Amino acid sequence: MELPPGWAALIDEYADHVGAERGLSANTVRAYRSDLTALAAQVDVAPDMVTLSRLRGWLAALGEAGAAPSSVQRRVACVRGFFAWAEAEGHLRDNPAARLKSPRRNRRLPRVLPAGVVDELLAAGADRAAAGADPLAVRDLALVELLYSSGLRVSEAVGLRLGDIDRERRSVVVVGKGDRQRTVPLGVPALRALDDWLGVRPAVSRPGSPDAVFLGARGGALDPRVARRVVHEATAAAGPGAEIGPHGLRHAFATHLIEGGADLRSVQEMLGHSSVATTQIYTHVTADRLRDTFRQAHPAPELTAPAASADRRARRPATPSSAGGSRSTAPSSRPSPYAAPSRAAGRP
């Protein structure tokens, strides 16, 4: 695609900047290139001729094309970063994107599989791994177990190296977004599944294979697209409505931890979020948990149609002692990825 004058060189230089100096992944750099190339084609003028009005026209075109709000936000962030960099480097006199705002995004709560459904799909994966001599089935189980036990992004999981697994500390060292390194604990089922996979990994390895934990069928590093397909197939086998991708397992990991009593800061660190605000979306709870909390904490816990105010006052205890003592406030909890005895026993 032939771009208006000045764009190609600036895009190349910016891609080098975000890749080398900001440490963004190759996939992110590729997405930035694509976004900026599409912008250049849309505005159809040189970079120093771009105005806020033209950028708003580009935004409108994205909306008319049906781009998802999350996609629009990502592209706006890319464009704002590009023009801020170009101004700071002296390539442009002004930053036309300084006042560019993306449309508000309605944050939908992620769909989360119940812990029992996750147990079932992991047990089914264990059965497949034990049923035959296919080392890839063992790999697939290890991948799914790891994603649920650690909450890793799929890119982080396929990027793991053999030396990143610390068996003594039951953890993995992960290099996440922005080259930020973190250590994430692993549950016993995930460690067992990883050990089983590493035991058969030589059957897949070839001369010159990388030291990646997960290998593809031909001995190369496992492609993220293949990893996503593995997770979709594994979860679909658990029944109608259960199919999710790797990010769905990440949602399940975070939600089940919080429902089990984990504090938000710890979950933030394990997920590798730079801001706790990103983690707060996982503070949603199930309807059952809400009902339990309501019954334990509210002075009028009956989950029935509202009674007349006089009836409510008659039922309401004046003090804890008048009701025969204070009501228990111990929260109910669900199994976390680190406490799953039902899955640990009998899993290879």
Q: Which of 192, 251, 273, 343 is catalytic?
A: 273
Q: The domain 115-284+340-344: what is its CATH number?
A: 1.10.443.10
Across 306-329, average pLDDT: 37
Confidence (pLDDT) at 201: 95
* Catalytic (active site) residue 298: no
User: Rounded mean pLDDT of the chain?
Assistant: 80
Q: What is the pLDDT of residues 154-191, one digit of tens each?
A: 999 999 999 999 999 999 999 887 778 899 999 999 99
**Number of Cβ within a 10 Å radius of residue 45:** 14
Tens-place pLDDT, residues 245-260? 888 899 889 888 888 8
**Which whole number is the average pLDDT over 125-134?**
81
258-316 pLDDT, tens digit per residue, is 888 888 888 888 998 888 777 777 775 444 556 666 676 766 655 444 444 343 333 33
Annotated catalytic residue, options 250, 251, 256, 334? 250
Look up 273 and say whether it is catalytic.
Answer: yes
The CA distance from 97 to 156, in Å, is 32
Of the listed 75, 80, 139, 153, which one is catalytic? 153
> Is pLDDT larger for residue 141 or for residue 341?
141
CATH class of 7-88: mainly alpha
State residue 318's pLDDT score: 38
- Print burial letters for 122-132: b (CB count within 10 Å at least 16), e (below 16): bebbbeebeee
**Distance separating alpha carbons of residues 41 and 209, to the nearest angstrom:** 41
Q: Where in the chain is the domain with CATH 1.10.150?
A: 7-88
Q: CA 114 to CA 243: how far, in whole Å?
A: 12
Q: How confident is the model at residue 156, as a pLDDT? A: 93
pLDDT reported for residue 302:
54
- Cβ atoms of residues 205 and 135 within 8 Å: no
**Is 14 labeled as catalytic in the residue annotation?**
no
Mean pLDDT of 52-67: 87
H runs (alpha helix) in 220-302: 224-236, 246-259, 264-271, 276-279, 287-297
Q: Which residue has the higher pLDDT, 137 or 296?
A: 137
Q: What pLDDT is stored for residue 110 in this prediction?
A: 63
Which one from 33, 161, 177, 327 is the annotated catalytic residue? 177
What lies within 8 Å, CB to CB, of 60 at 6+ separation is none
The one-letter amino acid at 137: A
Give the pLDDT confidence score for residue 291 in this predicted structure: 63
Q: What angle do CA 214, 220, 222 make, to 5 degrees?
A: 40
CA-to-CA distance for 34 and 244, rounded, in angstroms? Answer: 27
- Please state at what angle helix 135-150 crosses helix 188-200, rounded to 10 degrees: 150
What was the pLDDT predicted at 125?
85
pTM of the model: 0.59
Q: Which of 14, 32, 148, 282 is catalytic?
A: 282
Q: What are the distances in angstroms from CA 322 to CA 63, 310, 318?
A: 60, 18, 6
> pLDDT tens-digit profile of 84-109?
999 999 999 999 999 998 776 555 65
More confident residue, 334 or 168: 168
At residue 140, the pLDDT reads 95
Contacts 24+ apart (CB under 8 A), 43-49: 43/4, 44/4, 45/4, 46/4, 46/5, 46/6, 46/7, 47/6, 47/7, 47/10, 47/86, 47/91, 47/92, 48/6, 48/92, 48/93
Question: Which pLDDT score, from 0 to 100, does residue 46 have?
Answer: 94
Q: What is the pLDDT of residue 260?
A: 83
Question: Which one of the listed residues 91, 182, 228, 247 is annotated catalytic?
Answer: 247
pLDDT at site 290: 60
Torsion 189-191-194-196 (CA) sign: negative
Of the two residues 281 and 14, the one the predictor is more confident about is: 14
Judged on CB neighbours under 10 Å (0-12, 13-18, 19+), 275 is exposed
Task: Check if 250 is active-site.
Answer: yes
H-run or E-run covering 148: helix 135-150
Q: Where in the chain is the domain with CATH 1.10.443.10?
A: 115-284+340-344
Separation CA 145–CA 337 (nearest Å): 9
Q: Are 79 and 7 in contact (CB under 8 A)?
A: no
pLDDT of residue 151 exceeding 80, the answer is yes
Q: How many helices, marked H, and strands, marked E, lie in the chain?
A: 15, 3
* Active-site residue, 251 included: no
The DSSP H or E segment spanning 174 is strand 171-175
Per-residue pLDDT, averaged over 199-214, amounts to 94
- What is the band of 22 on the pLDDT scale with cuts at 50, 70, 90? confident
| Confidence at residue 126, expressed as pLDDT on a 0 to 100 scale | 87
Residue with tokens 């509210």: 298
User: What type of residue is 53?
Assistant: S
Cβ neighbour number for residue 115 with a 10 Å cutoff: 21
Which residues are registered as beta bridge partners of 174? Answer: 182
